[in-house]
C-alpha cells in the first residue's frame, strides 16, 4: 500500500525503448507519480529497489520480461507489464510466484489503448453470432514478435466464446496452400501479421455469417494512445494485490 498523498514511486524497465521513453515522459508530467528509476539493457535491476520503487513498469522484450517480473515480485514491488509474449503457461508461472507474495500486485495488459480494450470486449460479444472470424494485425517493422500480444489475446477470447456457444471449427475448404498463406492458427482462429513502415499498431477482427460481415478495427496512430491505460494501471496496482490480466476490470 502506498502512503496517502505521497506520489507513487515508479521505476521503468526498458526506459530507453519506444514505449519506455513515452512512459517516462508521461510519469514526469503526472503530479501523483515520481519517476525514481530508469533501467534499460545492461543496467542493474537493483536500481529500482535501491530507489524504493513501489511500482515497476516493464516495456522490454518477451525474452527478458519473465526474469524481470520474477525479480520484482521477489522484492515485493508491484508491476505493470506491457511487454508481449504472455502465454497461459507464463501466466500460470506468474500466479505461482504471487502465491508466495500475496501482497504484491501485477497488471499484465496486452494492450493499454482504451479502444483496443473495447475492441477485444466487442469481439468477445460478437463471437457467438458468426461462423467465420479472422484477425489481421498490422505493426511497425521493428516489432520482434508475431503475432502481436493483442492478436494472441483476441484469438484466445474469441476461441473461448466460440467453444462456450458450441460453435465448431471456422469453415475453410483450403486444401492446397502455400505455407503461411492462411496465417497462423491460434486457438482455432486464423491470425495474419502485417509489418510495414508507417504503421504503429492496428488490428481488424473480421466476422462473417450468411450474407453479412462485421469488421471491428482499432488503430493506434501514436504511442500516446497507450498512456492513459498505463497511468490507470500504475494507480490501480498499488492497491490491487494478485494478478490482473487486461484493463477491462480497471476501466
Ligand X SMILES: NC(=O)C1=CN([C@@H]2O[C@H](COP(=O)(O)OP(=O)(O)OC[C@H]3O[C@@H](n4cnc5c(N)ncnc54)[C@H](OP(=O)(O)O)[C@@H]3O)[C@@H](O)[C@H]2O)C=CC1
Query: Hey, which residues between 131 and 190 contact ligand LZUJQKHR (CB under 6 A)?
Result: 139, 143, 148-150
Instruction: Kindly state the smallest distance separating residue 130's Cβ from ligand X, in Å.
Output: 26
Question: Which residue's entry shows cell 460478437?
Answer: 126
Q: How many helices (H) and strands (E) does the chain have?
A: 7, 11
Rg (CA), the chain: 19
Catalytic residue (one of 95, 101, 128, 139): 139
17 binding ligand X? (CB under 6 A): yes
Q: Site residues for ligand LZUJQKHR, window 180-219 (CB under 6 A)?
A: 201
Q: Pick one of ligand X, ligand LZUJQKHR, none as the site partner of residue 41 (Cβ within 5 to 8 A by kind).
A: ligand X
The question of whether 218 is a catalytic residue gets the answer no
Burial 98-132 (b: 16+ CB within 10 A, else e): beebeebbbbbbbbbbbebbebbeebbebbeebee
| Cα gap 122→250, rounded to integer Å | 17
Handedness of CA 88, 126, 202, 168 (dihedral sign): positive
Instruction: Give yes or no for residue 110 binding ligand LZUJQKHR (CB under 6 A).
Output: yes
User: Considering CB distances under 5 to 8 angstroms, the limit depending on partner class, which of ligand X, ligand LZUJQKHR, none binds residue 73?
Assistant: none
Looking at beta carbons only, is 12 or 98 nearer to ligand X? 12
Q: Could you write out the DSSP letters of every residue in 37-63?
A: EEE-TTS-THHHHHTT-SEEEE-S-TT
Ranges within 56-75 binding ligand X (CB under 6 A):
59-62, 64
Which positions are annotated as active-site residues? 139, 143
Annotated binding site for (S)-2,3,4,5-tetrahydrodipicolinate: 140, 149-150
Binding positions for ligand LZUJQKHR, rule: CB under 6 A: 84, 110-111, 139, 143, 148-150, 201
Binding positions for ligand X, rule: CB under 6 A: 13-14, 16-20, 39-41, 59-62, 64, 82-84, 109-112, 149, 226
Amino acid at each position: 500500500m502506498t502512503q496517502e498523498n505521497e506520489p507513487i514511486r515508479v521505476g521503468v524497465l526498458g526506459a530507453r525503448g519506444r514505449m519506455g521513453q513515452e512512459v517516462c515522459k508521461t510519469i514526469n508530467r503526472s503530479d501523483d507519480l515520481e519517476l525514481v528509476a530508469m533501467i534499460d539493457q545492461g543496467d542493474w535491476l537493483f536500481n529500482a529497489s535501491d530507489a524504493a520503487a513501489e511500482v515497476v513498469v516493464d516495456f522490454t522484450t518477451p525474452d527478458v520480461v519473465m526474469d524481470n517480473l520474477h525479480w520484482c515480485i521477489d522484492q515485493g514491488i508491484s508491476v505493470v507489464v506491457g511487454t508481449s509474449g504472455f502465454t497461459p503457461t507464463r501466466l500460470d508461472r506468474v500466479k505461482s510466484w504471487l502465491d508466495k507474495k500475496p501482497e504484491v500486485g501485477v497488471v499484465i495488459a496486452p494492450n493499454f489503448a482504451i479502444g483496443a480494450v473495447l475492441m477485444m470486449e466487442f469481439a468477445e460479444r460478437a463471437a457467438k453470432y458468426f461462423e467465420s472470424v479472422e484477425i489481421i494485425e498490422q505493426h511497425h517493422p521493428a516489432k520482434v514478435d508475431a503475432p502481436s500480444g493483442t492478436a494472441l489475446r483476441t484469438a484466445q477470447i474469441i476461441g473461448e466464446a466460440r467453444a462456450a456457444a458450441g460453435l465448431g471449427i471456422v469453415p475453410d475448404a483450403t486444401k492446397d496452400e502455400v505455407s503461411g498463406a492462411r496465417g497462423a492458427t491460434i486457438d482455432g482462429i486464423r491470425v495474419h501479421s502485417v509489418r510495414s513502415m508507417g504503421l504503429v499498431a492496428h488490428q481488424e477482427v473480421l466476422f462473417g455469417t450468411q450474407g453479412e460481415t462485421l469488421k471491428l478495427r482499432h488503430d493506434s496512430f501514436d504511442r500516446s494512445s497507450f498512456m492513459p491505460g498505463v497511468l490507470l494501471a500504475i494507480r490501480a496496482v498499488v492497491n490491487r494485490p494478485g494478478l490482473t490480466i487486461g484493463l477491462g476490470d480497471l476501466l
